[in-house]
Amino acid sequence: MIEIKGVSKTFKNETALDYRDIAFENGKSYMLLGASGCGKSTLLNMIAGILSPDKGEIIIDGKEMSAASQKEKDRFRIEKIGYIFQDFKLINEMSVADNINILRLEGVDTSRADELLEKLGIAEKKNKKVKHLSGGQKQRVAIVRALVKSPDIILADEPTGNLNYSIGEQVIKELTQAAQGKTLIAVTHDERLSRFFDCVIDMNSVTGTPYDAAQGKAVN
């Protein structure tokens, strides 16, 4: 279980986010919905140990990760978390296989890669350089890299952000299927995709960030 307790985060531009307490149960899929700037990605980054909260606690399976050292957080991220970034975070000059096998630097077993690539329909692209792939194919590679280590928690930040709706829907469908039995927390703007998730959380209400409909984003 992932527990968010009294967490707040202030950025250098003085944007302040105060999160209401939330708990994510193991094995369920969550969709975080909300306007830009309401703190969805920040929450994922704090769970992943990429960012540290200024206040409060992030407890994962009983361990307070927010207080852990950077080394522990790195270890936790590589062992327990599969993170799918909005901009994929792939090395364009390298092949699909190399982008996945990069995890071997930390001793991650990537032997499932072929099976996952097959499952997501990009097995034939395995030896292609990432720069030659389409946005949808890159997203699938990012998903494979996140899932190959069989993580307990899958974090997906706008996994459909760069894709059109039909491809995005396909990607989310594949992602939720592949993440069966894992804790999946996905950030998305698109409410139409909510049917693929067990729970939908309105992040505007979680952070108490008012939503400016005219601007289409959260207001601090």
Partner 1 sequence: MLSFALKNMAIKKVQVILVAVSIIISAGVAVLAYNTANQVRDGITGTAGWYSAIIGPAGSKTQLAMNTMYFTDEPLGTIPYSVVSELQRDSRVKRVIPYAMADNYNGYRVVGTEPAFLESKEIAEGRMFDYAAEYEVVLGASVAKVCDVSVGDDIFTSHSASEQHTQPLKVVGILKESHSAYDRVVFTQLKTIWAVHEHEEEHEEEEEHEHEHMENSVCAAIVSTENPSFAMTLVSDYGGKIIADEDGDSVTLQAIEPMETVRGILEEIDSTKYIVYVLCAIILIMNVIVISIITLLNMYNSAKEISLMRLIGISMKKINLLYILQNGIIGLVSVLLAFAVSKICLRFMDTYASSMGVVLNTAKVYPMEWVILALVFAIAVLPTIICTFVMARRDSISE
Q: Which residues bind partner 1 (CB under 8 A)?
A: 49-52, 70-71, 73-75, 77-79, 81, 83, 85, 89-91, 93-94, 98, 101-106, 145
C-alpha 135/C-alpha 179 separation (Å) is 21
Decide whether 92 or 215 has the Cβ nearer to partner 1.
92
Map residue 17 onto helix, strand or coil.
Answer: strand
- How far apart CA 73 and CA 175 sit, in angstroms, is 24
Q: Backbone phi, then psi, for 155, in 5-degree steps? A: -110, 130
- Per DSSP, the residues of 165-195 read HHHHHHHHHHHHHHTTTSEEEEEES-GGGGG
Instruction: Decide: helix, strand or coil at residue 104.
Output: helix
CB of 15 to partner 1, least distance (A): 15
Residue 206 falls in which region: left (phi positive, over 0), alpha (psi -120 to 50) or beta = alpha
22 or 78, CB closer to partner 1? Answer: 78
Residue 82 vs 136, nearer CB to partner 1: 82
Q: In the complex, what is the shortest distance from the CB of residue 196 to partner 1, in angstroms, rounded to a whole number? A: 24
Alpha-carbon span 58 to 71, nearest angstrom: 17
Residue 99 host element (H or E): helix 96-101
| 56 vs 202 by CB, closer to partner 1 | 56
Query: β-strands 81-84, 63-64: how paired?
Result: unpaired
Q: Which is nearer to partner 1, 47 or 51 (CB)?
A: 51
In the complex, minimum distance from the CB of residue 192 to partner 1, in angstroms, rounded to a whole number? 28
Query: Minimum CB separation from partner 1 for residue 137, in Å?
Result: 18
Judged by CB, which is closer to partner 1: 83, or 211?
Answer: 83
Smallest distance from partner 1 to CB 73, Å? 8
- For residue 171, the minimal CB distance to partner 1 (Å) is 19
